[in-house]
Structure 1
Amino acid sequence: MSRAPGRYGKLGPQFPVALRDFTAYQAVPLPTPPAAVDWATGVSDWPMDGNDEYGDCTMAAAAHMIQSWNAQTGEQDPVPADRQVVSEYLKLTGGKDTGLVESDVLKTWQRTGLWGNKVVAYAPVNVHALTAIQQTIALFGGVYAGIQVPANAQQQFQDGQPWTLVTGWQQQPIEGGHAVPLLGYDADWLYAITWGAVQQVSWDWWSTYADEAWAVLPEQYRQAGTVNGIDLGALTADLKQV
């Protein structure tokens, strides 16, 4: 199976000082995550959303999360077409293909919305806190994630292979920053959506190359009455300071 990798466009992570780690907003202790979660197979088609021509991965990742949240909840929030994803990307960049900072995208998403969809709240998750990553995927339908992509990952993707650490991985140059939603996991893999496909990611690869992760509380979950275990009052108050 041959697949074509797309472009990069995630700029360096920026973590607003007003926001605490996601785990600090637990209204009650979050449950032990299940052994496996799969939110990816509920969607039959993952479009490129312009990421083959533009470095709009931060926006494509957001659009993919809306697709998945709709499938999870049965809600029908608007899902943008490719041209709408690109248009919103260029609007936020000022018309240039410069890439975006994930936290800036999230701030816009929560305050004014993207494509008619507004998220309830968001907070950072420690990329090395693997249980918290699993809890976030299980309870809120995904993680809005950022990674640094090594050169050999492009070939692995093209060959339909998982992203794994192979011999000589330490010498691989970084090609760019990339935004992906994590929509599942099991004992061996995380499952990301990128470049129009579901991509398996080994846990040690994630721990090596991930540089940011965000819990995002979707509007669809509030509509469905399933905002799970989070002190929304405290989180909302902190977001007002961002």
Structure 2
Amino acid sequence: MSRVAGKYGKLGPRFPVALKDFTAYAAAPLPAPPASVDWASGVSTWPMDGNDQYGDCTMAAAAHLIQSWNAQTKEQDPVPTAQQVVDQYFTLSGGQDSGLAESDVLKAWQTGGLWGNQVVAYAPVNVHALTAIRQTIALFGGVYAGIQVPSNAQQQFQAGQPWTLDPGWQSQPIEGGHAIPLLGYDADWLYVITWGAVQKVAWDWWSTYSDEAWAVLAQQYREAGTVNGIDLATLTADLKGV
């Protein structure tokens, strides 16, 4: 199956001042993350969700997390169709294909819900705190993340190659901001979903091009009775100030 790079549509990061870093809400020290996690292989098909035509990557990434959370918890929560993803994108963007900020998507997802799915809470994670990134993926089934995509990443993706810092990477222009869910990792790679496929990402590439990451407490985890180690009372109170 051919791989075709899609559109960009993640606006610059906006971190609400009311929210502390995700690790500040740990009720006790979070456990050391396992050596590897794989939440991606439980889903057989990752749709493009309109991201080949529109800059709706922030919404597609949210829909892909719902798919994975269902697989992780064995819940059967509704998964939006591609048209529903596109429609929700234009609802939040005011009818313009102008992109969205991840924090605005998260606020809508937590306060009113998206496609009948309402997350419990969310908080930012420092993109350079790699242990915290691993912990978030392991404990909460993924990270809602944002990157700035260099030009050569399109060629790497279409060739089925990992995103790595190839020689001359410093001269690569940035094509745009992109939203992706992080759904796994091992010693060498992060595993993310983008443009209808699982993409391997080198850790140093992530450290170079990532600009935001969010822990999201899923509706499915609440339904399954699992919300791992977080002081929800404090986090929920802080979210009221967002």
TM-score, normalised via structure 1 length: 0.99
Secondary structure at the aligned position of 2:216 is classed as strand
AA aligned opposite 1:40: A
AA aligned opposite 1:162: P
**Sequence identity percentage:** 81
Distance in 2 between residues matched to 1:215 and 1:59, nearest whole Å? 16
- CA offsets 1:194-227 (integer angstroms, 9 cap, x no match): 0000000000000000000000000100110110
1:177 counterpart residue number: 177
- Structure 1 segment 98-117 matched on structure 2, within 5 A: 98-117=98-117
Secondary structure at the aligned position of 1:201 is classed as strand
In the TM superposition, residue 184 of structure 1 has moved relative to its aligned partner by 0.1
- CA offsets 1:92-114 (integer angstroms, 9 cap, x no match): 01111000000000000000000
Residue 202 in 1 paired to residue 195 in 2? no
Distance in 1 between residues matched to 2:115 and 2:2, nearest whole Å? 32
Distance in 1 between residues matched to 2:84 and 2:2, nearest whole Å? 27
1:225 counterpart residue number: 225
2:4 counterpart residue number: 4
In the TM superposition, residue 57 of structure 1 has moved relative to its aligned partner by 0.1
Distance in 2 between residues matched to 1:87 and 1:56, nearest whole Å? 10
Distance in 1 between residues matched to 2:61 and 2:2, nearest whole Å? 22
Q: Which runs of 5 or more residues in structure 1 are unaligned?
A: none
2:84 counterpart residue number: 84
Residue 70 in 1 paired to residue 57 in 2? no
In the TM superposition, residue 28 of structure 1 has moved relative to its aligned partner by 1.1
AA aligned opposite 2:233: G
Distance in 2 between residues matched to 1:101 and 1:2, nearest whole Å? 29
2:122 counterpart residue number: 122
Moved over 3 A (4+): none
AA aligned opposite 2:155: Q
1:53 counterpart residue number: 53
In the TM superposition, residue 188 of structure 1 has moved relative to its aligned partner by 0.2
Distance in 1 between residues matched to 2:161 and 2:201, nearest whole Å? 9
Distance in 1 between residues matched to 2:211 and 2:166, nearest whole Å? 20
In the TM superposition, residue 2 of structure 1 has moved relative to its aligned partner by 3.6
TM-score, normalised via structure 2 length: 0.99
AA aligned opposite 2:116: G
Distance in 1 between residues matched to 2:236 and 2:2, nearest whole Å? 44
- CA offsets 1:66-91 (integer angstroms, 9 cap, x no match): 00000000001110000000000000
Residue 142 in 1 paired to residue 130 in 2? no
Q: How many residues align?
A: 242
Secondary structure at the aligned position of 2:75 is classed as coil
1:31 counterpart residue number: 31
AA aligned opposite 2:86: V
Distance in 1 between residues matched to 2:78 and 2:99, nearest whole Å? 24
Distance in 1 between residues matched to 2:232 and 2:83, nearest whole Å? 34
- Structure 1 segment 155-174 matched on structure 2, within 5 A: 155-174=155-174
CA RMSD, 1 decimal: 0.5
Residue 213 in 1 paired to residue 213 in 2? yes
Q: Which runs of 5 or more residues in structure 2 are unaligned?
A: none
Distance in 1 between residues matched to 2:116 and 2:240, nearest whole Å? 21
Secondary structure at the aligned position of 1:215 is classed as strand
AA aligned opposite 2:176: G
- CA offsets 1:25-53 (integer angstroms, 9 cap, x no match): 00011100000000000000000000000
AA aligned opposite 1:48: M
Distance in 2 between residues matched to 1:224 and 1:30, nearest whole Å? 20
